[in-house]
């Protein structure tokens, strides 16, 4: 079962986030797709199960900030950091 979580995380959730982030990172935050936020939620929910707690914590923090403040340029540094963590 853990192997299935690993596979799903790295082959489905991570590429989905990367594609959504690639589509959103060069456009104004107020036009970001809600799918990007849902993707963050998915990463946060599964990351600890695949031994990536720091990645999950960062995704959760971004999602919570987005919930509180809305999509904004203030999220950019954390989103760039998350994208770097995923590429490692």
pLDDT value, residue 88: 57
Burial class (CB within 10 angstroms; exposed 0-12, middle 13-18, buried 19+) of 84: exposed
Per-residue pLDDT in tens (0 to 9) along the chain, 88 residues: 778 889 999 999 999 999 999 999 999 999 999 999 999 999 999 998 899 999 999 999 999 999 999 999 999 999 999 999 998 5
Sequence ranges of the domains in the chain: 2-87
Per-residue pLDDT reduced to its tens digit, 63-72: 999 999 999 9
Look at residues 65, 67, 78 and name the one whose alpha carbon lies nearest to residue 17: 78
pTM of the model: 0.92
């Amino acid at each position: 079962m853990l192997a299935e979580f690993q596979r799903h995380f790295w082959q489905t959730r991570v590429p989905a986030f990367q594609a959504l982030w690639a589509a959103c990172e060069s456009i104004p935050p107020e036009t970001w797709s809600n799918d990007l936020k849902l993707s963050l939620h998915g990463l946060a929910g599964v990351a600890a199960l695949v031994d990536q707690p720091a990645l999950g914590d960062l995704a959760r923090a971004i999602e919570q900030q987005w919930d509180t403040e809305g999509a904004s340029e203030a999220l950019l540094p954390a989103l760039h950091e998350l994208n770097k963590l995923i590429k490692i």
